[in-house]
């Protein structure tokens, strides 16, 4: 494959960035020019919160693209204190603030879509806010709303908070996170911390008491295994709402894990069809809103300026540049995302990292590769993009943006698959002068290896298996039938075999594929050493990535000592996602120090960008 930006006349552009009410949004203009299928309606997406939002973020982007193809414009956004939105002082973010943001988003959408009526499409907590607010949103302004879709709505705020607590424990257990390092005393899941005032308000919220809007149709997409969803729909119908119901097929597979999330295609198509049919019944709009040609939007604080932008050929990619308001120092940092997590990162870790770097004077860019988060796919390429050569083009596009804005030299930072992409890209693009990789799963990926299968059955390290065997909770899970014994035994056998072969120093020579992988890894390290690319390797204690590192560089990575450009450190007690604040602090310090060291050793550092 040729390394470079590809041009495709059928490539979709990313949605147009907007900023309002202290948050970023994406306006997807209707693109029905060819068919003339302009609809007299637009869609406002009202998002869920936390881990559920991470899992459904891509779903909203796909739905927005489907609506656009049918002549329906849309807007999606983040609540204050979530995603890419600005943060606020502790206690300043309330449920009312989130509701006010929904109202502001509706006003902005109608302005950009030519004043057409709006359908609300909400998911989870967002669906319930839409149900609660629908009548008030239309008060005094006839025909402001024309429909509402509630997907997996929350019926009881108190029950929702209990469910969050349960799932948070499941996620932390899955990460083998030390109980002492878990978040306590707050409502949190997957690194997302709910504002205290929001949680307090939800404890008193019963969304089944919402007064329905009697002039618009409702579609309630209910999870069959959650009786409360159907009861909520029936409660609305009993109050006179025009309610249709359908089952939410594919919900569990989507929210299980962002890395292997499967989009609920059947449900997606049903919702899009319902919205399009209702919009078609409204006739044609009096005027057609032009495509919003803006490619960027910005938000500022006293410490930093953030610019959301679509970039690359055909404006196909989306990301956010974070620059210090004070004098810029050091190399710029490319924050490469993990798997299918949106660019904000696990628990908003990339957002926090970018803003802390800006406070230290360092610019950074977080972005979504193609078919991840808010960046559309490349036509003709497979759905699975992880560990493929096609992602190099996306990194190159980001570095081109750095270069155009005089933000070189640059370093890259990434965790797990993001670390792999940063490492692989650095061997091809000499504009990357340094790397900070956290829990990199691999340094070479065999093209013959099935990515989907590998992601579904990622083994743990041998040390983790040993630790789990002696934990009482493991035996309790076995008794409850919660452990896939066959898969666990297969993974344990695979890791044990690998550790034995590593100890015997023969695993890299047994098969042609093993010899090829070893040669590729050692060659890549040698090339980076020759270019004097600084390489920082961080691993959580017992991370599975250590098994791959030891395979190529010996027990404890002892053969890394021959590379003067490589620094390695192991973080005791940390999980794969670096969830604890102490892990994020260490990661930040390593990236900051790397960025500072690059410029101090380079004579071609560019001046501070004035754009």
The percent of residues in the chain predicted with pLDDT above 70, rounded, is 85
Residue 568 lies in a domain: yes
**Same domain (yes/no): 89, 195:** yes
373 and 311 share a domain?
yes
Cα 216 from chain centre: 33
Summarised one tens digit per residue, pLDDT across range 232-272 is 999 999 999 999 999 999 999 999 887 778 899 999 999 99
N-to-C CA span, the chain? 34
Per-residue burial over 125-151, b if 16 or more Cβ lie within 10 Å, else e, is bbbbbbbbbbbebbeeeeebbbbbbbb
Q: How many percent of the chain have pLDDT more than 90?
A: 74
Total count of domains within the chain = 2
In a domain, 473, yes or no: no
Q: In this structure, is residue 481 part of a structural domain?
A: no
For position 59, what pLDDT does the model report?
97
In a domain, 543, yes or no: yes
Mean predicted confidence (pLDDT) in 43-54: 97
Judgement on whether residues 274 and 155 belong to the same structural domain of the protein: yes
Query: Is the pLDDT reported for residue 288 higher than 70?
Result: no
Task: Find the helix packing angle between 125-138 and 95-112, rounded to 10°.
Answer: 60
| Same domain (yes/no): 306, 275 | no
Per-residue pLDDT tens over the stretch 321-373: 999 999 999 999 999 999 899 999 999 999 999 999 999 999 999 999 999 99
In a domain, 611, yes or no: no
For residue 76, being part of any structural domain is answered with yes
- 141 shares a domain with 108: yes
**Over residues 585-591, mean pLDDT:** 98
Q: Are residues 253 and 305 in the same domain?
A: no
597 vs 594: CA distance, rounded Å: 5
Cα dist from 131 to 80, 140, 199, whole Å = 20, 18, 18
What CATH number does the domain containing 450 carry? Answer: 3.40.50.1820
pLDDT band for position 177 (cuts 50, 70, 90): confident
Predicted model pTM: 0.89
Tens-digit pLDDT profile for residues 63-117? 999 999 999 999 999 999 999 999 988 889 999 999 999 999 999 999 999 999 9
**What 3-state class would DSSP assign to 206?**
strand
Three-state secondary structure along 376-389? CCCCCCCCCCCCCC
pLDDT of residue 610: 37
Please check whether residues 330 and 248 belong to one and the same domain. Answer: no
**Claim to verify: residue 420 and residue 321 sit in the same structural domain:** yes
**Among 280, 309, 324, where does a domain finish?**
280
Work out the number of other CB atoms within 10 angstroms of the CB of residue 321.
26
Q: What is the pLDDT of residue 456?
A: 63
Query: Does a structural domain hold residue 426?
Result: yes
Q: What is the pLDDT of residue 284?
A: 86
Model confidence over 519-566: pLDDT tens digits? 999 999 999 999 999 999 999 998 989 989 999 999 899 999 999 999
User: What is the reported pLDDT for 408?
Assistant: 96
402 and 529 together in one domain: yes
Q: pLDDT digits over 178-189, tens only? A: 888 899 999 999
Listed in sequence order, the DSSP H helices in 428-566 are 451-456, 462-469, 472-479, 485-504, 512-530, 545-553
For residues 142 and 235, state if they share a domain.
Answer: yes
pLDDT in tens, 2-39: 344 555 678 999 999 999 999 999 999 998 644 456 89
Q: At 522, is the secondary structure helix, strand, or coil?
A: helix
pLDDT higher than threshold 70 for residue 415: yes
Given 234, 256, 280, which residue is the final one in a domain? 280
Same domain, 426 and 559: yes
Using DSSP, how many helices (H) and how many strands (E) does the chain show?
18, 19
Mean pLDDT of the chain: 88
| Residue 466 in domain | no
Q: What would the pLDDT profile of 364-391 be if each residue is shown by its tens digit?
A: 999 999 999 999 999 999 989 999 999 9
**Structural domain containing residue 333:** 296-455+512-600
Same domain, 393 and 441: yes
């Amino acid at each position: 494959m040729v390394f470079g930006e590809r041009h495709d006349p059928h490539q979709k552009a990313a949605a147009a960035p907007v900023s309002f009410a202290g948050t970023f949004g994406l306006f997807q203009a209707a693109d029905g020019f060819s068919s003339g299928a302009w609809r007299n309606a637009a869609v406002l997406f009202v998002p869920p919160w936390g881990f559920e939002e991470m899992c459904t973020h891509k779903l909203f982007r796909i739905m927005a693209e489907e609506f656009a193809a049918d002549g329906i414009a849309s807007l999606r956004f983040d609540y204050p204190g979530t995603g890419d939105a600005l943060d606020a002082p502790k206690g300043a973010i309330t449920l009312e603030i989130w509701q006010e943001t929904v109202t502001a988003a509706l006003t902005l959408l109608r302005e950009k879509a030519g004043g057409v009526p709006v359908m609300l499409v909400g998911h989870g907590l967002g669906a319930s806010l839409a149900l609660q607010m629908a009548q008030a949103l239309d008060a005094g302004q006839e025909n402001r709303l024309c429909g509402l879709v509630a997907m997996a709505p929350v019926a009881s705020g108190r029950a929702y908070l209990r469910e969050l607590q349960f799932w948070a424990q499941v996620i932390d257990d899955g990460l083998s996170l030390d109980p002492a390092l878990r978040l306590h005393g707050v409502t949190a899941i997957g690194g997302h911390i709910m504002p205290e005032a929001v949680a307090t308000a939800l404890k008193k919220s019963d969304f089944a008491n919402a007064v329905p809007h009697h002039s618009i149709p409702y579609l309630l997409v209910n999870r069959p295994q959650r009786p409360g969803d159907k009861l909520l729909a029936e409660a609305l119908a009993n109050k006179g709402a025009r309610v249709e119901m359908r089952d939410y097929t594919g919900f569990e597979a989507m929210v299980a894990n962002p890395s292997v999330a499967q989009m609920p295609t059947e449900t997606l198509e049903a919702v899009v069809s319902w919205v399009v049919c209702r919009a078609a019944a409204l006739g044609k709009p009096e005027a057609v809103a032009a495509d919003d040609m803006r490619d960027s939007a910005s938000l500022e604080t006293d410490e930093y300026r953030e610019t959301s932008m679509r970039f690359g050929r055909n404006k196909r990619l989306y990301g956010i540049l974070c620059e210090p308001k004070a004098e810029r120092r050091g190399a710029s940092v490319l924050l490469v995302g993990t798997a299918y997590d949106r660019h904000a990162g696990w628990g908003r870790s990339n957002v926090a990292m970018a803003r802390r770097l800006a406070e230290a004077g360092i610019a950074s860019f977080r972005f979504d590769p193609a078919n991840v988060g808010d960046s559309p796919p490349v036509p003709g390429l497979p759905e699975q993009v992880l560990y493929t050569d096609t992602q190099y083009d996306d990194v190159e596009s980001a570095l081109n943006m750095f270069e155009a804005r005089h933000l070189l030299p640059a370093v890259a930072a990434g965790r797990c698959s993001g670390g792999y992409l940063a490492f692989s890209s650095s061997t091809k693009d000499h504009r990357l002068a340094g790397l900070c990789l956290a829990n990199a799963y691999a340094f070479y990926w065999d093209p013959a290896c099935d990515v989907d299968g590998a992601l579904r059955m990622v083994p743990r390290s041998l040390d983790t298996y040993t630790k789990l065997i002696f934990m009482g909770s493991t035996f309790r899970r076995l008794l409850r039938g919660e452990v896939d014994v066959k898969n666990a035994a297969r993974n344990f056998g695979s890791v044990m075999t690998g550790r034995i072969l590593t100890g015997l120093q023969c695993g890299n020579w047994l098969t042609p594929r093993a010899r090829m992988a070893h040669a590729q890894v050692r060659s890549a390290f040698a090339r980076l050493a020759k270019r004097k690319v600084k390489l920082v390797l961080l691993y959580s204690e017992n991370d599975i990535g250590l098994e791959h590192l030891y395979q190529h560089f010996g027990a404890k990575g002892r053969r890394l000592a021959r590379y003067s450009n490589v620094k390695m450190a192991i973080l005791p007690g940390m999980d794969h996602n670096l969830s604890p604040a102490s892990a994020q602090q260490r990661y930040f310090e390593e990236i900051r120090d790397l960025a500072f060291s690059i410029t101090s050793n380079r004579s071609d550092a560019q001046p501070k960008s004035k754009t």
